[in-house]
Structure 1
Amino acid sequence: MEIWITGIGLVSAAGEGRAAHLAALAASTPAPVDAESHAPFPLHPAPALELDRQIPKKGDQRQMEPWQRLGTYAAGLALDDAGARALVAEMDLIVAAGGGERDMALDESVLAALAALPPAEAALQLNALLAGGLRPTLFLAQLSNLLAGNISIVHGVTGASRTFMGEEQAGADAVRIAAARLAEGRGQAALVGGAFVAARWDLMVLYHSAGLLRQGGFAPVFARDEAPGAIPGTLGAFLVLETADSARARGARGLARVMGVACEQARRDQADGSAAAARRALDRLALPEGPLAVLSGATGGAVPTAAEREFLAGLARDVTLRAAGSRLGWGVEASFPASLALGALMLSEGVLPPSLEAAEAPFEAPPTDLLVTGFGAWRGEALAHLQAIPAEEQP
């Protein structure tokens, strides 16, 4: 069964919604970069949002963490963009989410208390300090499936619900499973996506300890050899996927056709690594012959970006490349849905993003097929094939 993207809800440093991101795609500069607040780590900050537009109850806003508000807001944008509010009672909801936000004040107080104790006593006191400081409501706020719950409550999406965790792979698998369920006839529409807030010291410390972050100023993702690493970007990204029959029946225009989504995983320290895993995923897609347009999800980190370069070089065809991360940053769970949203805009509007670096050759013509890639910072390789929908097939 044919699957269309009929709505996108995208929030990033570039702004919110279609118009802001069409402008971002057409720009010759990246979305705004904040190099000061979390120096030495640059990031793409969150835009100012009028939360009341998508989350009208102040009580709902107060009980959510920032990333939950961002995701709920972006989900509402996607529903409105698709004109799909009438479908929410039976719409599937598939969310890619992290583990919530830490209580930094509590963490700092625990570390300060432990620093004053001998090592043997500190180990014994750690659990006691956490047990006395964590509140039940705070613990519940860490549950990733609360984003799905908030979307259900605020927007009334009450079909089958699933939540995935696991960095970039979570976002890719969420889209893959949503599309597969619809293609098998298990529903007519699905709301799928994720959310990530970049301006968080707890994540900066975590990702820096793994060597994942760039330090210094902005550079496009394939031009960071002197200082490899990701530049985090606040992203809320949701898609409305819908069967073509459902979209035509209600007169909804499709932005792009989802021809296939394939995911793989590999141990990157072995010979049969990430590029080979991506080639296995590619074998499950039916891409046309000839030159290929690619929207890359490369992070800018040394290992995954090198793996993507190896994969693209092995395609044995002319590739015209654009990097989503150079424009919006690295959004972890939200990265792959955000790339699909940008890809759908490119195909539906015939946008040819200008080059930001030498790796991005000029387009000769608007693409009709687009390969979207996602190479996770640690592991996880994902590909999606999007196709433009001709005017004669639109309702």
Structure 2
Amino acid sequence: MADTTTSRAEPIEAWITGIGLATSLAEGLDAHWDALTERRVNVDTAAFAPYVVHPLAPLSFDKQIPKKGDQRQMEAWQRIGTYAAGLALESAGIKGNTEILSRMDMIVAAGGGERDLAVDSAVLNAEGYGTVPPSALNERLMNDLRPTLFLAQLSNLLAGNIAIVHGVTGSSRTFMGEEEAGVDAARIALARIAAGQSDIALIGAAQNGERKDLLMLYEFGDFNLKDNYAPVFARGPKGGFALGSGSAFLVIESKAHAEARGAKPYARLKNVVADQSRRRNAGDVTASLEKLWSKLGPRDGATAIITGATGAEPVTAEETAFLRNHANAPVRGTATPFGHVMEAQFPLGIALAALSLSRGALYPPNDPTGLEVEMGSTPDQIVVIGAGHWRGEGMALVEAVR
């Protein structure tokens, strides 16, 4: 009897061919590499005291968003993201290439829009005095809020603005869900390319961390780092994250598509895995990360870890326990130089991994606790870790292409 079974085709190889970074440290790849090598940190403890933030480095938005009208109708996080997306397209050599951009897929991880603080304050003050009729709230919302504010609250407006400004008009997806949204943006893009459903994709996220409403939101959960800055692994049992402003975008495409247009890879995106532990018992996050580590696939050669550890507790302590279990892999925490950029934290980690592999070195440690150590050899693979401050865990395996 003939064998009628068929073997499953090998997954299509995915290359990272474009990286766009605009953060509290700098814009562009060379400037970021210099800042990381020099162990620079841009942090502000005064502007939003007692909260610690990493403010955006100066950008000339005109370079990537030439129309002032486009800039005006965007909120700050959308401008930052649209800017970094343009950098990624430039890095990949496809900016302005309408043939590729018209079929390029886009997956954005996004939070919600910004509040109108003046209106919010007026409503709350009036309510506090107890002198307003029941209909007053609706009247204030209808009369005080400008119509464009409602549009700006839409999470998929970042993808919309990238489509308008840069002409990325293939399929578009926007994921919400804080850090895990960034994990899923990478996971779904890789899965589509590996299955032959997509040739090229733009993924990423952005955050404006210099927002009083956002700081208030996270203060309700007691997540903010207060008073004094400290590297992420040196914040002690109270912990907390310092919100950062910034954006990371990546161009990911099939090897065949990249080779056909003569593009060179920064690195290979080999695998992305995700989990969501219940976090009901001590050690749940550590166990989740161990499970993901086992699912990543073979790790041959010199391996390093870039983690988006937030600084929030107890999750950072549990992630630290995992990292100490794998002490043979040198660690770098992105929250130390960049702050916590929420949805963008995982794409940022992948971007730094690809940049490091393309330069044949892991950037220096910047941690007084001894958890981060020098890497004497050239990394062959870097594992990117994302453990959300409240929910969700993910890992990516990024490999050198030699």
Structure 2-normalised TM-score? Answer: 0.92
Q: How does 1:355-366 map to 2 (within 5 A)?
A: 355-357=365-367, 358-366=370-378
The residue number in structure 1 matching 2:391 is: 379
Gaps of 5+ in 1: 391-395
Secondary structure in 1 aligned to 2:53?
A: coil
Greater helix share, 1 or 2? Answer: 1
CA separation in 2, counterparts of 1:295 and 1:123?
52
CA separation in 2, counterparts of 1:350 and 1:272?
35
Secondary structure in 2 aligned to 1:16?
A: coil
Instruction: Give CA deviations for 1:182-212 in whole Å, capped at 9, x if unaligned.
Output: 1111121100000001100000011111111
CA separation in 2, counterparts of 1:280 and 1:52?
45
The residue number in structure 2 matching 1:393 is: none
Instruction: Give CA deviations for 1:149-205 in whole Å, capped at 9, x if unaligned.
Output: 110011000111000111101111011101111111112110000000110000001
Runs of 4+ in 1 over 6 A off after TM superposition: 121-124
The residue number in structure 2 matching 1:389 is: 401
Alignment: residue pair count: 386
1:37 counterpart (35, 41, 47): 47
Contact 1:290 1:318 (C-alpha < 8 Å) held by counterparts: no
1:173 aligns with 2:191: no
- Which AA in structure 1 matches 2:294? D
Instruction: Give CA deviations for 1:302-360 in whole Å, capped at 9, x if unaligned.
Output: 21211211222344x61211111111110001111111111111110123322222211
1:138 aligns with 2:149: yes
The residue number in structure 1 matching 2:203 is: 192
The residue number in structure 2 matching 1:352 is: 362
The residue number in structure 1 matching 2:160 is: 149
The residue number in structure 1 matching 2:350 is: 340
Contact 2:309 2:335 (C-alpha < 8 Å) held by counterparts: yes
Q: How does 1:43-62 map to 2 (within 5 A)?
A: 43-62=53-72
- Which AA in structure 1 matches 2:146? R
Instruction: Give CA deviations for 1:110-147 in whole Å, capped at 9, x if unaligned.
Output: 111111107xx687744443344333321111000011
Secondary structure in 1 aligned to 2:288?
A: helix
Pick which of 128-137 and 367-376 moved more: 128-137
Secondary structure in 2 aligned to 1:382?
A: strand
Secondary structure in 2 aligned to 1:23?
A: helix
CA separation in 2, counterparts of 1:113 and 1:91?
49
Q: CA RMSD in A?
A: 1.7
Contact 2:302 2:380 (C-alpha < 8 Å) held by counterparts: no
Contact 2:54 2:243 (C-alpha < 8 Å) held by counterparts: yes
Secondary structure in 1 aligned to 2:102?
A: helix
1:326 counterpart (319, 336, 340): 336
- Which AA in structure 1 matches 2:62? D
CA separation in 2, counterparts of 1:375 and 1:19?
28
Contact 2:268 2:398 (C-alpha < 8 Å) held by counterparts: yes
Contact 1:7 1:82 (C-alpha < 8 Å) held by counterparts: yes
The residue number in structure 1 matching 2:110 is: 97
The residue number in structure 2 matching 1:108 is: 121
- Which AA in structure 2 matches 1:88? L
Contact 2:110 2:343 (C-alpha < 8 Å) held by counterparts: yes
Instruction: Give CA deviations for 1:244-265 in whole Å, capped at 9, x if unaligned.
Output: 1111111111001001001111
Q: How does 1:235-246 map to 2 (within 5 A)?
A: 235-246=246-257
The residue number in structure 1 matching 2:5 is: none
Contact 2:108 2:185 (C-alpha < 8 Å) held by counterparts: yes
The residue number in structure 1 matching 2:279 is: 268
Gaps of 5+ in 2: 1-11
Contact 1:114 1:125 (C-alpha < 8 Å) held by counterparts: no
Secondary structure in 2 aligned to 1:170?
A: helix
Q: Among the aligned pairs, what percent are the same residue?
A: 48
CA separation in 2, counterparts of 1:265 and 1:26?
34
Contact 2:203 2:249 (C-alpha < 8 Å) held by counterparts: yes
